[in-house]
Amino acid sequence: MKYLRLFFFLFLIVACKNRQGENYPEGGNLDTLQVVTEFGIPVDEFEIKEGAVKRGQFFTNLMTDLGAEYADIYSLTQASRGQFDLRKMKIGNSYKAYYTLDEDPKLAYLVYQDTKTSFVTFGIHDSIFVKVHELDVTVRTRVGEAIINTSLWNDCVNSGMSPLIANRLSDIYAWTIDFFGLQRGDSFMVVYDEILAGGEFLDIGTIHAAYFRHNGVMYEAHRFIQDESPNYWNEKGENLRKAFLKAPLKFSRVSSGFSYARRHPVTRVVRPHTGVDYAAPTGTPVVSIGDGVVTQRAYAGGGGNTVKIKHNSTYTSAYLHLSRYASGLRVGKRVRQGEVIGYVGSTGLSTGPHLDFRIWRNGKPINPLKMDAPPADPIKSGNREAFNLQVLKSREISDSVRSVQFLDSLVIKLGAGKSKV
């Protein structure tokens, strides 16, 4: 055991040294002076001004505003042919202008960001040229873990994950977990791909698996492709997608529940409120909880702008107090699960912006928060073996990646501790 601990300690020291040498030339150290370049431009030799393309600003007048001479602008328009279409410069896209450090500074380079991974350099310093740079895109598998203390979004960020993870998890578990009812102490672990461009975070890729503990119950989600369609299933092979979503909007709060004796906030009359109120800002998208046909799209007195959808012979849902309807929505239109049908408002008898959401089963109102919708098709028997292997693979990946991340964190800590000595 003693030799094992010694071996592990030596391994960390070697790893730490290797990490320190990654960003420096052979034989270099922290004191080595290096030339910092961006897209081949030695940035220390220029003054950099940043900006964004404004409305009504095209390449020619942008370059003029930045101080380029007309002859150089014309030469750049000729050099850009076959390299970059200047007509595709977009309003709001950022750029950096590099100026000489002379007493009379002159524009030397312009670097325009076309997409998240593509940059265009316009050079007029030593020579006229136009060059497109594509950043290297890499994918690495990560494992993220968090305990719910405040909200899914906040706790994702506080645990070092992108808030995009919160959005993706809410989509995956939309039929399984009521995210308006998360409890302090709930937790989750997610195995996902992180997309990097030029070493910087770009986006969240595939989520391979997730493990969400809510109210003491573990809900697993494993990605698997069946019938050419990727979906998420629990460890038993049951589809997480159900006939109905848990809620018709995201990241809100329940402001009033289902009751047969509620005092109306406007009329002050005690009467049944056979629905659930979700408080949300005006304009928040409202989606249909399931496939169905629109049977009502009209102003309905106290309910304000209302949409009613018949899902099948058993279930009907309604969405009240909308500020406006989705474009193209009409009676008789068939809508899909998750399709936007309107936007939160405060029309009708309402004290503020919210959605009054209601469901009927066989013509009788039921509590939406207690509805247990049937699941979609499970894993087919012919896919069962492949699915079971996928579940095992996801667990092996999570264990492996967690170990690597743990070692990385130790190396970083040891490296930081050594540099302070």
Q: Write the pLDDT tens digit of every residue in 282-332.
A: 999 999 998 899 999 999 998 999 999 998 878 899 999 999 999 999 999
**Dihedral-angle region of residue 346 (phi above 0 means left; psi in -120 to 50 means alpha; beta otherwise):** alpha
Which pTM does this prediction carry?
A: 0.58
**Crossing angle, helix 59-66 and helix 70-79, to 10 degrees?**
140
Residues in the chain: 421
Whether the Cβ atoms of residue 152 and residue 165 lie closer than 8 Å to each other: no
Tokens of 52: 């964004």
Give the model's pLDDT for residue 38: 82
Low-confidence winner among 26-30, 108-112, 199-203, 207-211 (lowest mean pLDDT): 26-30
Confidence band of 251 (pLDDT split at 50, 70, 90):
low
Span 212-250, pLDDT tens digits: 999 899 999 999 998 888 889 999 998 888 878 888 987
Span 44-75, pLDDT tens digits: 899 999 999 999 999 999 999 999 999 999 99
Confidence band of 414 (pLDDT split at 50, 70, 90):
low
Give the model's pLDDT for residue 171: 85
Span 178-191, pLDDT tens digits: 787 788 999 999 99
Cβ count near 388 (within 10 Å): 14
Give Cβ neighbours of residue 141 (< 8 Å, ≥ 6 apart). Answer: 191, 192, 193, 194, 208, 397, 401
Q: Please report, for residues 19, 44, 239, 397, the alpha-carbon distance to residue 24 in angstroms, rounded to integers and kept in the order given.
A: 10, 18, 50, 32
- Which among 188, 231, 186 is positioned nearest to 211, based on CA atoms? 188
Q: Which ranges in 100-232 belong to alpha helices (H)? A: 152-158, 164-172
Average pLDDT (77-84) is 93
Q: Please report, for residues 1, 292, 385, the alpha-carbon distance to residue 175 in angstroms, rounded to integers and kept in the order given.
A: 49, 17, 25
Give the model's pLDDT for residue 269: 45
Whether the Cβ atoms of residue 277 and residue 256 lie closer than 8 Å to each other: yes
Q: Cα-flanking dihedrals φ and ψ of residue 62, to 5°?
A: -65, -50
Q: Using CA atoms, how far apart are residues 86 and 79, in angstroms rounded to an integer?
A: 11
Tokens of 345: 């408002």
Whether the Cβ atoms of residue 323 and residue 306 lie closer than 8 Å to each other: no
Confidence band of 254 (pLDDT split at 50, 70, 90):
low
Confidence band of 37 (pLDDT split at 50, 70, 90):
confident
